[in-house]
Amino acid sequence: MTDGLDEEQRRRISETDRAARAGRLLDDDLFKAALEAVKDRIWRDFAGSPPGVAGDEARRGARSGLDVLDKILGQLRHHIATGKMAQEQLGLMAKVRE
pLDDT, residue 98, reads: 78
Distance CA 17, CA 80 (A): 9
Give 58-80 pLDDT, tens digit per residue.
Answer: 999 999 999 999 999 999 999 99
pLDDT, residue 2, reads: 47
DSSP letters, 46-94, are HHTSPSGGGGHHHHHHHHHHHHHHHHHHHHHHHHHHHHHHHHHHHHHHH
Residue count (the chain) = 98
User: What average pLDDT does the segment 16-34 reach?
Assistant: 97
Can you give the pTM of this predicted structure? Answer: 0.82
Q: How far is CA 80 from CA 14, 31, 51, 57, 60, in A?
A: 12, 16, 41, 35, 30
